Structure 1
Amino acid sequence: MKTKDQIREYEKALEEMSPFEIKDTLIKMAKKGSETTTDTFLNAGRGNPNWIATAPREAFFLLGVWAVETCRNEAYSKPGVAGMPPEEGLGDSLKLFLKDNAARHGAHLLLNAIDYAETELGISADSLAYEWADGIIGDHYPTPVRMLVNAEKIVQAYLAQEMGDNAPGLGKEYDLFATEGGTAAMCYIFDSLQANHLLKKGDSIALMAPIFTPYIEIPQLDRYSFDVTNIYADSTDKDGYHTWQYPVEEMDKLRDPKMKLVFLVNPSNPPSYRLSQDCLDYLVDVVKKDNPDLMIVTDDVYGTFAKDFKSLMYVLPRNTLCVYSFSKYFGATGWRLAVIAAAKENIFDRLISQESKECLEDLDKRYGSLSLHPEKIRFIDRMVADSRSVALNHTAGLSTPQQIQMSLFSLMCLLDKRNVYKKKMQDMVEDRLEALWKGTGFRLMEDPLRVGYYSEIDLMLWGSKIYGDDFCNWLKANYEPIDIVLRLARQTSVVLLNGSGFDGPCWSVRASLANLDEIDYLKIGSALRSILDGYYEEYKKAK
């Protein structure tokens, strides 16, 4: 039996680990508890959604049936062997196939998608059908390596709609790089910023916290060793409740020109709030008045769950790289689909052109095998090359079947003029959020900026509101913050993640509202409240 001091030392060691690694310990505890009690094992630690978007998947698989048929020809008469799809006349072939199979799931979406691409995006039916046939078959390397031509046009329009709050221009002012999910995008950005001398070892960067844990951990790696400053979302209302917005004194840290770059997740992960208009306006002021060369990387994977969302890519386009992943909104974490978006006119290219002679010579040598004029290669294309160690640039790119599925996800939303799918997603996570908080008995504040894909619950705040400051002081003196999630797993078979692992309030927990049913969140809320009440019972006995 471990002593109390030994337990606290163990918990302190756990707190140094990523919450995504601690979760394995929590899951083991929770499952063991569920085997010996009537408690149900409930894991709300990870944000993998428990839904899928059906229509674009049905379209994908029906498209695959047609694509295989187009590859059959007399030149390949042996069973199990076919040729490549022809480049001409496939538009009519696909339309005829879809009309003949109009009753099959996916046909309606594909027919409407072809019409939309022709009328709104200027993509001919033949061009689209060939890219789809060749892409879904996967018989060529991705060409262009950065992104297929029509796929880029489609996703540009999707981002203009979803990240730009229906911005005009169909997103043509941005270049896109299709990547193997948002995590790959993160790695590519970090690598290329350093490879192109935009960030050097030890440079000053900022993180808008709380934030997704890898953004905290990657800068600490020896190859980067960045000097990190946190910008904390510690604003509160007049009653002391979190608003999860950034006070001006925190954002003023970005005014220092030594601050090279800022990373943020918007809406945040956790606590799942989008940036207020005041925060967006203040960031614009910071850049325009004091730090015009501030590089911004915004991870906007949860933007589609927010109402009237506008990404920083549309607020400060020249300064911003946007990472958008299709994983959460479409229930597609296994597909590994994301894009990096960069404005065609951006500071990344300008900053590279202004580097020292020594740095420019180094870059010419690095990218010299790709072009007679390597100095003209844009930053987004350098990221593509860097993703394959430059030498394998000719085989870079996201697999073509993945890009076709990405296109179909985007087209479903572009065709959904009444936002039927979006409202379903937003209503579902909101209902789950309300169930969670109802279970806790805590007051869920009304806030139009709340998105609700996650919820960050600060137990110290609620302990103070319900049981007083003396109780909170006792809790801090006798337990480590991570004890909450350990006790929750051990005693109630519920898995949540520690908020401190995201640079959030030490005594907070993160619950994902994506991966369980509404009734489960009511149980989780009740379990969390029982843990707080249990601490209070100990406190009373100690007194």
Structure 2
Amino acid sequence: MAKSDKSGSGDRAGMAALSPFELKDELIKAAGGGAVERPANLSMLNAGRGNPNFLATIPRHGFWQLGLFAMRESERSFAYMPEGVGGFPKREGLEERFEIFARENKGTPGIAFLAGVVSYVRDQLGLNAGDFLYEMCEGILGSNYPVPDRMLKLSEQIVAQYLRREMIGKHPFVGEFDVFAVEGGTAAMTYIFNTMRENFLIEPGDTIALGTPIFTPYIEIPRLNDYKLKVVNLEADVAKGWQYSKAELDKLRDPKVKAFFLVNPSNPPSVKMDDESLEYIAGIVKERPDLILLTDDVYGTFADDFVSLFALCPKNTILVYSYSKYFGATGWRLGAIATHRDNVLDKQLAALSKDKRAQLHERYESITTEPDKLKFIDRLVADSRTVALNHTAGLSTPQQVQMVLFSLFSLMDTPDAYKNALKRLIRSRKQALYREIGIAPEKEDVNQVDYYTILDIEYLGERRHGREAVDWIIKNTEPSELLFRLAKDARVVLLPGRGFGTQHPSGRVSLANLNESDYTQIGRAIRKLMDGYIERYNKAAGKKADKAK
């Protein structure tokens, strides 16, 4: 196929500048769907977006039952008014009334979980059960502002315990950390970039490093007029299991690099950074204690024995976590930012020039009598509401309650039954996909997470068809042409890997949002497409051989 041969729907080469998430809409149109088609449209297989088709049911049952209990408590306060007026729950006797509610509703889905939650909070976390129930009841009713605005008091402690278990695990960790509840990982990214800029931690012309491939907004945000940052890419090597070589990591030694942004496990390769690389970065941080790290670990809960960079370099690292994928909660918009209480960000703020500190003093003086002592994470909170609205900042309290119930569900699941079930589910889907493509999966890699898989045309195509055939395909096709042909001919939608910073033509397949039989169909469609290109290559090679005669 010549490069001029388009697959319809306009000039594909002209779409190269589009974000993969915007290009997805064009691919959906090519597949005969609308831009807002859901995976439920069975005539089209959209493996382009990472929204899982599974979700955690037990903590959701608990949420609804807690809501019913909270409503009963609210109605007690104004029981004399028949017009549907309720009030705030009463703290006195709340724990006893909950026990009565639990007995009355024994056997109802969610009740046993809630009873277990109260017991766990009291007996394992050492918190006051009555205080916890009051915070949860008031929170789920949404009857008050979030106080404290960064995160409800006990909710922060519980979420911190969850992050300790999932992000730090058994790794030694000294000190405490603060948590800011935010509207998903995307809000975390927005707030962090903005506050770093507003506080002169990054300025136009500064250099940051990105661990690529990476979630596309991390590539796009630094280019915006708001930031105008220079970017150094640390490129993971597909031939080495998507790990970073020491030569790539050594780029962080350059004092011009102010910060390193990483998604771990990676997106889209879905591979966690190996222990050797984590230790190597920790060694660089010892030499460069000024280096700021940001690790976005949304997929860490799908990995085996995951340890975050936050665990090894807590004083230099901003941890971003989202509940969206693991609990099937993208619509809830639940995320968290965590920073160690002794961190490099606060040290750099204190070391700013007199003029810059004066500017920041003026910026934050309306919300505290000691602006110079305001921690970075609390500046995030203030900046999230343009400072002037700091008194109304904070994630909505019903969202925080669901976040807490998700966290407790995981903390109480000591055998990791839910986690292991999800791992089996997505890994079985991957096996079905590769089996039908006709490529045996690589030897099992302990660092693979498999939430996504990236089909690298150059790497996988060479294994199945040889180097010469792959070179011909790359030379004779536009970067997105294969994806458009797949969409038009087979109604299969994938995202372009190049939009995430991969170096070769590729497609990202989400293994979370379709059923196993669908991945079987996708595998067959990919094999059929590639066989068609190989047939054209063989004809071209035959003609070339005839001319040579």
Please tell me whether the aligned partners of residues 235 and 246 of structure 1 are also in contact (alpha carbons under 8 angstroms).
no
Matched, 1:332 2:329: yes
Which one of 122, 127, 141 corresponds to residue 131 of structure 2? 127
Q: What is the match of residue 67 of structure 2?
A: 64
* Separation (CA, whole Å) in 2 of partners of 1:354 and 1:172: 23
- For residues 151-202 of structure 1, the C-alpha deviation after alignment (integer angstroms, 9 at most, x for no partner) is 1111111111111124578x97110000001100110000000011000011
**Residue pairs, 1:27-106, within 5 angstroms:** 27-31=28-32, 40-72=43-75, 73-74=77-78, 77-106=81-110
What is the CA–CA distance in structure 2 between the aligned matches of 1:319 and 1:358, rounded to whole Å?
Answer: 25
Of residues 500-509 and 54-63 in structure 1, the stretch that sits farther from structure 2 once superposed is 500-509
Deviates more, 1:336-345 or 1:8-17: 8-17
Structure 2: 5+ residue runs without aligned partners?
A: 542-549
Q: 1:4 to 1:377 in 2, by over 3 A?
A: same
Secondary structure (helix, strand or coil) at the match of 1:292 reads coil
Structure 2 SS opposite 1:270: coil
For the pair 1:220 / 2:218, whether they are aligned, the reply is: no
**Stretches of 4+ aligned residues off by more than 6 angstroms:** 5-9
Moved more, 525-534 or 330-339: 525-534
What is the number of equivalent residue pairs in this alignment?
531
Shift of 1:336: 0.3
Cα distance in structure 2, aligned partners of 1:97 and 1:342:
38
CA deviation after TM superposition for structure 1 residue 88, in Å: 2.5
Partner residue, 2:267: 269
Greater displacement, 116-125 / 200-209: 116-125
Q: Structure 1, residues 394-438: CA drift from partner, whole Å, max 9, x if none?
A: 000000000000000000111111111110011111111111111
Hey, what's the Cα distance between the residues in 2 that align with 1:520 and 1:226?
Answer: 41
Q: After TM superposition, list the pairs within 5 Å mapping 1:505-520 onto structure 2.
A: 505-520=503-518
Which region of structure 1 is more displaced relative to structure 2, 146-155 or 526-535? 526-535
Kindly report which structure 2 residues correspond to 1:352-367, keeping only aligned pairs within 5 A, or say none. 352-367=349-364
Superposed, which structure 2 residues align to 1:205-244 within 5 Å? 205-234=208-237, 236-237=239-240, 243-244=241-242
**What is the match of residue 297 of structure 2?**
300
Q: In 2, are the aligned partners of 1:92 and 1:125 still within 8 Å (CA)?
A: no
The amino acid that maps onto 1:478 is N
The Cα shift of 1:525 comes to 1.3
Partner Cα distance (1:178, 1:74) in 2: 32
Correspondence for 2:493:
495
* Residue 12 of structure 1: how far off its partner (Å): 2.1
Distance 1:127 1:257 in 2: 48
TM norm structure 1: 0.95
CA distance in 1: counterparts of 2:68 and 2:7, whole angstroms: 59
Matched, 1:479 2:482: no
Contact 1:153 1:172 in 2 (8 A): no
Contact persistence 2:454–2:497 (CA under 8 A): yes
Post-superposition Cα deviations, 1:224-251, rounded to whole Å, max 9, x if no partner, equal: 01101110001525xxxxx100011111
Contact 1:232/1:250 (8 A) holds in 2: yes
Q: Which amino acid in the other structure matches residue 113 of structure 2?
A: L
TM-score normalised by length of structure 2: 0.94
Contact residue 195 and residue 383 of structure 2 kept, 8 A: yes
State the partner residue of 1:240. Answer: none
Aligned to 1:318: 315
What displacement does 1:120 show?
A: 2.1
Q: Secondary structure at the match of 1:94?
A: helix
Shift of 1:110: 0.9
1:412 alignment counterpart = 409
Task: For 2:452 and 2:25, locate their aligned partners in 1 and report how far apart those are by CA, in whole Å.
Answer: 19
Tell me, yes or no, if the aligned pair for 1:261 and 1:294 is still in contact at 8 Å.
yes
The structural deviation recorded for 1:472 is: 2.3
Residue type matched to 1:236 in 2? Answer: A
Say yes or no: does 1:182 pair with 2:185. yes
How many Å separate the matches in 1 of 2:179 and 2:262? 19
Residue of structure 2 equivalent to 1:22: 23
Measure, in 2, the Cα distance between the counterparts of 1:94 and 1:32.
49
Residue matched to 2:388: 391
Moved more, 195-204 or 116-125: 116-125
Deviations 1:200-240 (A, max 9, x none): 01110011000001111111101101101110001525xxx
Distance 1:361 1:32 in 2: 55
Q: Deviations over 1:35-64 (max 9, x none)?
A: xxxx94101000000011111000000000
Q: Given residue 502 of structure 2, which amino acid in structure 1 is its aligned partner? A: G
- Residues 310-319 or 25-34, more deviating: 25-34
How far apart in 1 are the matches of 2:437 and 2:262?
29
Task: Say yes or no: does 1:157 pair with 2:158.
Answer: no
Q: Hey, what's the Cα distance between the residues in 2 that align with 1:74 and 1:322? A: 43
C-alpha change, 1:382 and 1:401, in structure 2 (3 Å) is: same
**1:288-326: CA deviation from partner (whole Å, max 9, x where unpaired):** 12x221111111010010010001111110010111100
Query: Which deviates more from structure 2 when the two are superposed, residues 356-365 or residues 478-487?
Result: 478-487
User: Structure 1 residues 168, 295: closer, same or farther in 2, change over 3 A?
Assistant: closer
The answer for the alignment partner of 1:142 in structure 2 is 146
Look up the match of 2:254: 256
Structure 1: which amino acid aligns with 2:357? L
C-alpha separation between the residues in 2 aligned to 1:6 and 1:74?
Answer: 69
Q: Secondary structure at the match of 1:318?
A: coil
Partner of 1:380: 377
- Of the structure 1 ranges 101-110 and 128-137, higher mean CA displacement relative to structure 2 is found in 101-110
Q: Which amino acid aligns with 1:250?
A: E
Of the three residues 114, 117, 120, the one matched with 1:113 is 117
Mapped contact 2:6–2:481 kept (Cα < 8 A): no
1:423 to 420, 424, 427: 420
AA matched with 1:246: Y
Q: Matched residue of 2:239: which SS?
A: coil
Q: Name the SS for the 1:317 alignment partner.
A: coil
Indicate the larger mover: 23-32 or 208-217. Answer: 23-32
Cα distance in 2 for partners of 1:211, 1:304 equals 18
Q: Letter of the 2:147 partner, please give it.
A: T
Tell me the secondary structure at the aligned position of residue 514 of structure 1: coil
| 8 Å contact kept, 2:3–2:478 | no
Counterpart residue identity of residue 41, structure 1: M
SS in 1 for 2:69: helix
| 3-state DSSP of counterpart to 2:31 | helix
Bigger Cα displacement from structure 2, 479-488 vs 183-192: 479-488
Rounded Cα–Cα distance in structure 2 between residues aligned with 1:3 and 1:14: 14
Structure 2 contact 180–381 (Cα < 8 Å) conserved: yes
For the aligned residue pairs, the C-alpha RMSD in angstroms reads 1.9
CA distance in 1, matches of 2:79, 2:107: 32
Question: SS of the counterpart of 2:168?
Answer: coil
Q: Which amino acid aligns with 1:455?
A: T
TM superposition shift of 1:530: 1.5
Unaligned runs of 5+ in 1: 238-242
